[in-house]
Amino acid sequence: MSETSQQLNVELRSAATTELPGLPLRPVGGAEAALAVTEDGPRLTVAIPETSRSEIRWIVDRLVRRLKGSLDYEGLNLAIGDEVDDDTAVALALDLHGRARGSLELEAKSAVVERVASLRPYEELFKSWVDEDPSTRTSLKIAEDVQALGEAHEHVEAEILAEEALRERGLNLLLAVGGGSEASPSRLCIARYNPPGSETKSPLMLLGKGVTFDTGGINVKPYESFVSMMKNDMAGSALAFALFKALIESDYPAPLALVLPTCENAIGSRAMRPGALVESYRGHIVRIDHTDAEGRLILADGLSYATDIIEPSQVICFATLTTSALVSYGPFATPVHFATGELKNRLERAGERCGEDLHFFPERIWHLEANRDREGDLRNTARLPGNASRGAGSRNAAHFLRHFTDRPLVHLDIFASTWNWSGEAPGAGYGATGAPLRSLLTALRD
């Protein structure tokens, strides 16, 4: 720590607090806060308002970010009052870990400290994959990490399918998307976890999109389409891997499967062409209407092949699938498609506990039929009829996947929530946010 830098002390109290020590600050979202100068350095005290946990996260993070421009500090000391509920305390502690310039010292109830410690390493793993340079975070590196996980854990078996094996099995959609890249070629990475003593035979399958960089293909992305950020298009695979690792390292009692179709959507002489007709593993003829709708293609082959050989009880899919998720629902929301029953209830409760906004949408036949094609069986750019043709991109893309499995499927379109598009994601700098890993891990593990 430099001679001029100092620790920032942050104290979080309930809204019932009557007085806050120090100079009152301009309120944010109705939250009262005060800044005091003490022997231990500046101290920010915040009275947490009574509102949704996602809003609390945003409010507290904005108050802390305000001080970054005026105070030179390295690291945070965070004290959370016992009257603050545990879920709020955990969410804010994880966020402020991300804001700490160096380190965070946490003073809170032991249950809060333990839960933060159980979540943080996997959130950091998830973010590190997404933020990594795409020249190193290739399909080959993803395959290497999946293989290493299998070798390190006695109850995990890993298998990597390269181009020849994919061609033999008929995963032509995955091969088509990755055909233009030598540095990050098509791979299907599968890991299976079978804990001893489990009476459950059919695993929960975690499926993640792994497009390591997305140029858009021959239908190249304009700059306005965030092409400079498209290293994040493998965030689905990063989320699935981090979640799988967290579950097996907490001795998850039931079988799991991890399935990561991965490649780069590059431009080149071997890149897939608009208008091409490609036969999928499941036998559907898919017309490539637009090469920048590639994520659903690799997921379709990975989903149909893996559900055939693994026979899962449930599939949960993660993908930065559509810009529509950001345009339609804003920078922090995660659309969740097809969730029903107890899994929907668990995800809904977990999202509320963690302060991550999950929005649920059911299966509907008109979105399913919007993916039909006159030339092929399906096309990779669904459109609703008439003046609705440009709407519902996230829902249409999710329903494309429904054509490729009869197994129970839940799909999370994480395009908006997993990257800090607004610059205001709680705890996040430029790049990955870590969302919605907390909610998923809470729903499945806790």
Contact 219, 331 (CB under 8 A): no
Residue 232 C-alpha from the chain's centroid: 10
Cα separations (Å) of 290 from 53, 76, 161, 278?
39, 48, 26, 13
296 part of the active site: yes
CB atoms under 10 Å from CB of 299, counted, come to: 29
d(CA 96, CA 91): 9
CB atoms under 10 Å from CB of 142, counted, come to: 25
Token reading at 50: 């009574």
Token reading at 399: 């329903």
Cα separations (Å) of 150 from 145, 158, 325?
9, 5, 33
Catalytic option among 296, 353, 379, 407: 296
Backbone angles phi, psi at 76, to 5 degrees: -130, 140
221 part of the active site: yes
Name the strand (E) or helix (H) holding 150. Answer: helix 139-152
Helix (H, G, I), strand (E, B) or coil at 310: helix
Residues in the chain: 446
Q: How many CA atoms lie within 13 A of 444 on its CB side?
A: 27
DSSP assignment of 20-60 equals: -SSEEPPPBTTBEEEEEEETTEEEEEEEE-SS-HHHHHHHH
331-365 as b/e: b if 16+ CB within 10 A: bbbbbbbbbeeebbebbbebbbbbbbbbbbbeeee
Catalytic option among 99, 120, 221, 287: 221
Catalytic residues: 221, 296
